[in-house]
A and B are shown apart, each in its own frame.
Chain A
Amino acid sequence: MPETGPHTPATARRRADFSVQKMPGFAAIAIACFVILYAPIITLVIYSFNAGQSVALWQGFSVKWYYIALENRAVQEAALRSLIIAASASAISSVVATMAAIGTTRTGAFKGRTAIYLLINQPLMVPEIVTAVALLIFFASIKVATGYGGLGYLIVAHAAFCVPFAYLPIRARLEGMDATLELAAADLYATPWLAFRRITLPLLAPGIAAGAMLAFVISLDDVIITEFVKSAGQDTLPTYMLGQLRRAITPEVNAISTALLALTLVLLSVFFVLTRARESRSD
């Protein structure tokens, strides 16, 4: 004890010296990062309330660009289309992701499991532009064969790239779930379907909701694949905005972006609440 006594303060001081927060430039780098990340967004939000025509010159506060955006038929249609696609893609991808998650966590080790993971996560690994071109060509031939030209193509494309995003939270929740509960249900005379309906599904619900939410946000935001796959007159909000930027830029684009940002923030907050609920429930 007397041996180690004198050493302790020195060791403690040395550890404090090595703390990242004490390193020179830490504060400056941190501030720079925050500015680069958030200053553009803050500017965008501020100028959505600009009374003038410019996105760079402040001419007083107004919410008129929100009115203008709301009354613009093209914006209304694009927003509705975005919501329809996002909702459908989110629904389809969370069903597929739930089945995939159960298949990969509740079957024990099987051959080709890694291959399955790669397959499910393909959209995360293949460059989006490649997928976009591939889908364009693939859907074009289907279009020729069937003559169908509706929103179905966009919905299918979005559902496909949303699957890995829906899959991750669902799988995390399933892995955190005690598999004995399902055995207990079977032991108490539940058929496999009833065990799923009465035990697995209710316990998995927050995970599925979180996955669906994430998929919705990802779909809402997509530009590249949508731009390639859409037919004429099938603009979503992001592709509509892209089109606008090629012409005159007004704070109307800022207003739409801010609205999109607000919606995304709300959905992501719900997502975090849902995943947090999992952590506190599982112990």
Chain B
Amino acid sequence: MANGKASVAVAARGVSKIFGSGSNEVRALDDVSLDIRTNEFFTLLGPSGCGKTTLLRLVAGFESPTRGSIFLDGEDITAEPPNRRPVNTVFQSYALFPHLTVAQNVAFGLEMLGRPRKEISDTVARMLALVRMEQLANRATSQISGGQQQRVALARALAPRPKVLLLDEPLSALDLKLRKEMQIELKRLQTETGITFIFVTHDQEEALTMSDRIAVMSAGRILQIGSPEEIYNHPAGRFVASFIGESNFFEGTVHNVRGNSVEIRMPSGDMVTAHSLSGKPEGSVTFAVRPEHVRLEQFGTSGTLAATVTDSVYFGTDTHCHLELDGGERLVARLQNKVSGGPGYEKGMRAGVRFDDGAAQVLAD
């Protein structure tokens, strides 16, 4: 699906957005460029205040960029008002029209487009069936639950068949169970309709499970774009590595580079082979290893790093072993529990630490 030839639905080129002026200046977006492909489920992921909503509002047309341009299907839409962009939004607060019924809400966009009455009623019926709300078509929007309002907001935004659907943390107001259900529902809707989704969240798990590709943002910049596997297994920098999942960080000096494979000498003198995303790292570098990619072996096994167990915490499915290398670095290993019990490493024991092949990842910063 994600081959280089896939056509681009939304593109941003050098987009900056500055709010306020002088000493109150807030740089919400800083020189952002990205390509979102047709039919993909694209997620903007990042901590609060990193500019996700701002980027979405620029695509919807509610704000105009201070610098840069936005393209839709190759056409520059930077100057178009929201009502002339074939893009619809699912608002975080849903923003359902309180004086209209469920069906009237869903019909609104089609009416504004001047579609024939027959087509409108057919589409509304189809959309309500799609989100399983047929029974409540004539309810007032104040008389349905939060999850149902969410579905109506989705149906309303999908009814005019936009080229791109923008979703700003649409699930954050729902409780955990409903949230899981809606995650599956959203993914189903995206596959069934074939519409490009741009989805905003600050929940990394949501991003990993739903997306075709993820853009990780921080402080108005895009740090990395890639598939969930790429982002998780090969984080480009320290921020991505710690924001998505957990990571152990180590320092070392580059000893030898062969393609993507880098040999790093740790301060203790031990050698570790790490994976590098790009460029030719040299000098001192940081690399990251996921806790579940750390294995413990008999102390003294060749090729392992000598360590002492400082703590061992039982978590049901796994046990978190806190360790200190003889070089002084601290790390956590997540070890799978068996029916027979835990991995058997207790506080104070000595162990040999080994990283799975390809688990160590050189970071760019």
Task: Give chain A residues whose Cβ lies under 8 Å from the Cβ of B82.
Answer: 183, 186-187
Docked Cα-Cα span, A183 to B89, in Å, equals: 10
Q: Which residues of A contact B91 (CB under 8 A)?
A: 180, 183-184
- Surface stretch bound by A, among B92-100, B213-221, B235-243: B92-100
A contact residues around B170 at 8 Å (CB): none
Any B CB within 8 A of the CB of A36: no
Taking a contact as CB atoms under 8 Å apart, the answer to whether A188 and B112 are in contact is yes
Given A188-B112, A189-B112, CB of A180 within 8 Å of CB of B88: no
Q: Mark A181-197, 1 if CB is under 8 A from B, else 0.
A: 10111111111101100
B160 within 8 Å of A (CB atoms): yes
Which of chain B's residues have a CB closer than 8 A to the CB of A191?
83, 112
Cβ A189 vs Cβ B83 within 8 A: yes
Asked whether B108 is an interface residue with its Cβ less than 8 Å from the other chain, the reply is yes
Residue A150 CB within 8 A of the other chain: no
Q: Are A180 and B93 in contact (CB under 8 A)?
A: yes
Proximity bits, B43-85, A CB within 8 Å = 1, else 0: 0000000000000000011100000000000000000011110
CB atoms of B93 and A194 under 8 A apart? no
Assembly CA distance A189 to B91 (angstroms): 15
B98, A203: Cβ atoms under 8 Å? yes
Q: How far is the CB of A87 from chain B (nearest CB, A)?
A: 27
Asked if A187 and B113 make an inter-chain contact with CB atoms under 8 angstroms apart, the answer reads no
CB-nearest residue of chain B relative to A188? B109
The residues of B that contact A198 with a CB separation of less than 8 Å are: 108
Does B156 sit at the interface, judged by CB under 8 A?
yes
| With A178-B93, A181-B97 as contacts: A189 and B113 at CB distance below 8 Å | yes
**Inside 8 A of A281's CB, which chain B residues have their CB?**
98
Interface residues on B, range: 20 to 34
Q: Could you tell me the distance in whole angstroms from the C-beta of A198 to the nearest C-beta in chain B? A: 8
Taking each of A178, A186, A195, which has the highest tally of chain B beta carbons within 10 Å of its own beta carbon?
A186
B142 CB to closest chain A CB (Å) equals 8
Cα A5 to Cα B349 with chains together (Å): 53
Q: For residues 149 through 183 of chain A, which have their beta carbon under 8 Å from a beta carbon of chain B? A: 178, 180-181, 183
Complex: A88 Cα to B91 Cα, angstroms = 41
**Among the listed B89, B93, B98, B99, which residue makes an inter-chain contact with A187, where contact means beta carbons less than 8 Å apart?**
B89
Residues A188 and B99 in contact, CB atoms below 8 Å apart: no
A190 near B97 with CB under 8 A, answer no
- Known contacts A183-B82, A184-B89: does B112 contact A190 (CB below 8 Å)? yes
Task: Name the distance in Å between B272's Cβ and chain A's nearest Cβ.
Answer: 51
A190 to B157, CA, bound (A): 13
CA distance A199 to B111 in the complex (A): 13
Within 8 A of A (CB), among B103-161: 108-109, 112-113, 156-157, 160
Closest beta carbon of chain A to B166's beta carbon, Å: 9
For A181, what are the chain B residues with a Cβ–Cβ distance below 8 Å? 95, 97-98
| CB-CB nearest in chain B for A198 | B108
Flag if A186 contacts B81 (CB, 8 Å).
yes
Q: B109 near A189 (CB under 8 angstroms)? A: yes
Least CB distance from A151 to B in Å reads: 37
* Nearest chain B residue, comparing its CB with the CB of A186: B82
CB distance from A52 to the nearest CB of B (A): 55
User: B97: which A residues are within 8 A, CB to CB?
Assistant: 181, 184-185, 199
Is A202 in contact with chain B by the CB < 8 A criterion? Answer: yes
Q: What residues on A are CB-neighbors of B81 within 8 Å?
A: 186
CB under 8 Å from chain A, chain B span 160-175: 160
Across the interface, A188 reaches (CB within 8 A) one of B61, B93, B98, B160, namely B160
Instruction: Please measure, in the bound complex, the distance between the C-alpha atom of A202 and the C-alpha atom of B156, giving whole angstroms.
Output: 20
Cβ-defined contact, B99 with A203, below 8 A: yes
B81, B82, B89, B109 interface centre (most CB from chain A within 10 Å)? B82
Residue of B nearest to A194 (CB): B112
Which chain B residue shows the least CB distance to A283?
Answer: B142
Tell whether, in the assembled complex, residue A202 and residue B99 are in contact, meaning their CB atoms are under 8 Å apart. Answer: yes
| A188 surroundings in chain B (CB, below 8 A) | 83, 88, 108-109, 112, 156-157, 160
With a cutoff of 8 Å between Cβ atoms, the chain B residues found around residue A187 in the complex are 60-62, 82-83, 87-89, 157
When distances are taken between beta carbons in the complex, the residues of chain B under 8 Å from A184 are 89, 91, 95, 97
Contact status B95-A186, CB under 8 Å: no
Interchain CA distance A178-B113 in the complex, whole Å: 24
**A178 and B95 in contact, given A183-B82, A189-B109, A191-B83 (Cβ under 8 angstroms):** yes
CA distance A172 to B132 in the complex (A): 38
A25 to B113, CA, bound (A): 69
Q: How far is the CB of B127 from chain A (nearest CB, A)?
A: 13
The answer to whether A189 and B160 have CB atoms under 8 Å apart is: yes
Cross-chain contact of B108 among A178, A183, A185, A203 (Cβ < 8 A): A185
In the complex, how many angstroms separate the beta carbon of A205 from the nearest chain B beta carbon?
9
Sorted nearest first, the 5 A-B pairs with minimum C-beta distance are: A188-B109, A189-B112, A184-B95, A180-B95, A186-B82
Instruction: Give residues in B with beta carbon < 8 Å to A.
Output: 60-62, 81-84, 87-89, 91, 93, 95, 97-99, 108-109, 112-113, 156-157, 160
19 interchain pairs (CB within 8 A)? A178-B93, A180-B93, A180-B95, A184-B91, A185-B97, A185-B112, A186-B62, A187-B60, A187-B157, A188-B157, A188-B160, A189-B160, A190-B83, A190-B108, A190-B112, A194-B112, A203-B98, A203-B99, A281-B98
Please name 20 further chain A to chain B contacts, defined as beta carbons within 8 Å, in addition to the given A180-B91, A187-B89, A192-B83, sorted by A numbering: A178-B93, A178-B95, A185-B108, A185-B112, A186-B62, A186-B82, A187-B61, A187-B88, A188-B108, A188-B156, A188-B157, A189-B109, A189-B112, A189-B113, A190-B112, A191-B112, A195-B83, A198-B108, A203-B98, A203-B99
